[in-house]
Structure 1
Amino acid sequence: MADAALRLKGLVEQLLGAPLPVRVRAWDGTEAGPPDAPVLVVRNRRALRRLLFKPGELGLARAWVAGDLDVDGDLYAALDALADLIWERGEDARTLGQALRDPEVRAAARGLLRLAGPPLPPAPPAEEMRRRRGHLHTRRTDKRAISHHYDVGNDFYELVLGPSMVYSCAYWPAPESAGGTLEEAQRDKLELVSVKLGLKPGMRLLDVGCGWGSMAIHAAREHGVDVVGVTLSQEQAAYARKRVAEEGLTDRIEIRVQDYRDVTDGPFDAISSIGMAEHVGAEKYLQYARHLYALLKPGGRLLNHQIARRPQRDESAYDVDAFIDAYVFPDGELAPVGTTVTQLERAGFEVRDLESIREHYALTLRRWVANLEAGWDRATGLVSPGRARVWRLYMAASALAFEHNRIGVNQVLAVRTPESGTSGLPLRTRTWN
């Protein structure tokens, strides 16, 4: 079809009832749209079929992961331009149904179907994790979800995360200028957690969701504590144990492949949970908080470092992000920070400090994206091209979500305050002891 881009642009704008905010380059090489806008490359008609049979974010994600859609130029600018289509319109079937009552919208949909051509919708890319029926966040389903995300190869994570091997928000000294290296900022984050927990020689720390062992190693090496680290990922555990041995810390650190619910050898003086609680799930969160509370000594501290979403007007209508759930963090759930604080307090904790570090995560993600892009050829060799595209899209989109305050990240310090009421914290909590 001659001039497919112009035809595609016109039909999409008729369907949306708004101008397309990007320039389109179609499979026939033609282009249409604002000359200075980011370029969305539609490599084939299959991309249209994916979008038509799964409108919204998931259809776009499938086309991106499969390589049917691409961006020529700045990915962040393209995602920013498409933000209203991806995040604001969403995938509400009722809204789509209402729109299709309009004769012009129906005509545009029929035109896009003709342009897309047969056959019926293609299968999702192999990297998509199919949701299974049944209860979420059992030990079996959690292990499966964690394996999907983390057991993709330690070499791949080394490329993305860099030498620190920390897969959570770093702590930057100058967010305005993004000064300092990623490794320095991650070291500062681990030290911030250690200081908030008041780690001292001889203490016993539980690191829940210990990843590749970075927090455990930092706490043992820099603060002289004994550490139990738990993860559900076999690959993470093997990597962490190797690092512990290389540091000469095997007498101070034990790395386990273990569900946090199966940890029974408390009490601990302190617990760190860094980027793990997002996997717990709303229905299990109070159980999570109560179990950690039970594992702490009276006066012990919990540092809960967790991503949060903005509250919804109707919380009962909240649904998980379709792309993240299918490709990135299966069964992961985000909660507003107020909900997290409430659940921790219901479990018995006294919440003593909350620090939002939202802007820090945007900076961290942009560094991870830069690492991935710089090592793209090696990354696609270590995993599949589709898997690498998943990581590039989700990290870039997440960076923008943090920058625009669609999501945040918070460090919540909570104490198992003894009956005496003495928390053990200084009167001025920002002068951490």
Structure 2
Amino acid sequence: MGHKPTVADVFQPLLRAALGSRPAVGFEFWDGSTILPEGECRGTMRVRSKDALSYLVWAPGELGLGRAFVSGTADLDGDIFTMLRALQSTAPRDARLGLDAAWKAIGAARQLGALGRPPLPPPEEARPRRGHLHTKRRDAAAISHHYDVGNDFYRLVLGPSMTYSCARFAADNDDGRGGANATVSLEDAQRAKHDLICRKLGLAERAGMRLLDVGCGWGSMAMHAASTYGAQVVGVTISKAQAELARERIADAGLSTSIEIRLADYRELRGEKFDAISSIGMFEHVGATRAAEYFDTLRALLRPEGRLLNHAISSAGGSTMHGRSFIGRYVFPDGELLDVGEVALAMERAGFEVRDVEALREHYALTLRHWVANLEGAWDRAVSLVGDGRARVWRLYMAASALGFEDGGLGIHQVLGVVPDEQGHAGMPGTRRAWR
């Protein structure tokens, strides 16, 4: 009597095509069969049902894998950073779920009875949207998908600072040139980031300067600028949940006379003048086709010698978070990352003089590791707030992003521009010492 193949037997050719002959992680399947690495095992992927394979067959690549993970039909048992790095490093460059792996996935699915109708995507997935990219309505829907998942969940992940952008891990006596200082707490690092931006914008030069914070989040930058430097701040966001909590936090801090939070799109800003503008973690939602309009709008809002600090994730050559990617479907619908060179060029074309560019990618990697630790340390609470699927989305996306910043696949830059007056005066300090 012949041996009935186990699920592991059926999966072996697929794993070899997708991950090479010696994956550094183990695999355990729903029938109890396993595939173990030849050397050190850096964690176990548990494939809990044939639906995981169905997701992969109907959406080959990272979207199918993401669906399996978010749905719980596949899981990672072990340190998520170590496992993702191991999977990434062992996969042949030319075989990451390419054509050969796709055909083997179909063959495995046929043997295991997983070639029926495609399973419904997990409900956390954003459906592809119709209409023109980066219209106000479509941008509002994309922002709501990501930011309106619950302020309590964000507080759990981000910590008391409620700051959803790269922190700066530099001690008080450290100029940051030694890289991210892991001994600095997340709260201190976020405070240091806000203070660096305030000093780059010249808010320390005189009290009462008028600051516009575009994409103000839950108001942390606005609160720091007002409480530390006496700035008068207008913050704008198109997330209702953010605006509501930002106003509460500002009132509790006694800063309501110094800060105004508006539920508004940047394209609605007209006829006002500011001394400085901060844009922190917002430009990723603007899009390449709207970059010129964005900087033209901000340029028109600045007085002569006014400064703009654009703090944004970047990608060499640029990249779009398209609808077949995990991050484009689950995390940042319609998001786009521009090359930092294109950002600087767009600012110059709008009339800014670019005065400083600073890279902080190692700092963002450490920020994300803090956020993952916060999430994993309060997992049951997170699941009770947003559900298991949404919590899984965040764990996977933040861990993978941290690795992207560590290996240089992702970058993040602060680009500082100024609007010279008619005589060409910029009002800028001669060196960076003014904000170090």
The aligned residue for residue 126 of structure 1 is: 123
CA-atom RMSD, angstroms? 2.3
Aligned counterpart, 2:62: 57
Which of 321, 336, 340 is equivalent to 1:337? Answer: 340
Per the TM alignment, residue 115 of structure 1 is displaced from its structure 2 partner at its CA by: 2.3
Of residues 252, 255, 263 in structure 1, which corresponds to 2:261? 255
Change (3 A) 1:244 1:407: same
Please point out which of 383, 401, 405 is paired with 1:402. Answer: 405
Is the 1:211–1:231 contact (alpha carbons within 8 Å) kept by the matching residues of 2? yes
Q: Pick the aligned partner of 2:296 from 274, 290, 313.
A: 290
Partner of 2:139: 142
Letter paired with 1:10? P
Using a 3 Å threshold, how does the CA distance of structure 1 residues 366 and 17 change in structure 2: closer, same or farther?
closer
Aligned to 1:413: 416
Q: 1:77 aligns with which of 77, 82, 99?
A: 82
- Counterpart residue type for residue 182 of structure 1: L
Tell me how far apart the structure 2 counterparts of residues 233 and 107 of structure 1 sit (CA, whole Å). 44
Match of 2:186 among 176, 182, 185: 182
One-letter amino acid of the counterpart of residue 307, structure 1: I
Cα contact 1:9–1:20 (8 A) shared by 2? no
Q: Distance in 2 between matches of 1:134 and 1:401?
A: 31
Question: Which of 142, 147, 159 is residue 156 of structure 2 equivalent to?
Answer: 159
2:190 equivalent to 1:193:
no
- Distance, in Å, in 2 between the alignment partners of 1:87 and 1:352 is 42
Given that 1:2 and 1:28 are in contact with CA atoms closer than 8 Å, whether structure 2 keeps it comes out as no
1:327 pairs with one of 330, 337, 344: 330
Structure 1: which 5+ runs fail to align? none
Post-superposition Cα deviations, 1:380-430, rounded to whole Å, max 9, x if no partner, equal: 000011000000000000000000000010000000111211111111134
Amino acid at match of 1:68: T
2:356 is aligned with 1:353 = yes
Deviations 1:317-349 (A, max 9, x none): 995771111000111100111111111111111
CA distance in 2, matches of 1:188, 1:351: 23
Give matches, 1:163-312, under 5 Å. Answer: 163-173=160-170, 175=179, 178-199=182-203, 200-311=206-317
Q: Which moved more, 1:253-262 or 1:4-13?
A: 4-13
Tell me the amino acid that sits aligned with residue 252 of structure 2.
Answer: E
Judged with a 3 Å threshold, the aligned counterparts in structure 2 of structure 1 residues 169 and 106 are, in CA distance, closer, same or farther, namely closer
> Does the aligned pair in 2 maintain the 1:24–1:42 contact within 8 Å?
yes
Measured against aligned partners, the alpha-carbon deviations of 1:207-228 in whole angstroms (never above 9, x if no partner) come to 0000000001100010001000
Return the offset for 1:4. 1.8
**Are the equivalent residues in 1 in contact too, given 2:321–2:336 (CA < 8 A)?**
no
The alignment's TM-score, normalised by the length of structure 1, stands at 0.92
What amino acid sits opposite 2:35 in the alignment?
A
Large movers: runs of 4+ above 3 Å: 14-21, 84-92, 105-109, 174-177, 317-321
2:381 match: 378
Q: Take 1:421 and 1:321, find their aligned partners in 2: how far apart are those partners?
A: 47
Amino acid in the other structure paired with 1:340: V
State the Cα distance separating 1:177 from its structure 2 match. Answer: 5.0
Q: Percent identity?
A: 53
Aligned position for 2:431: 428
Counterpart of 1:70, as a letter, is D
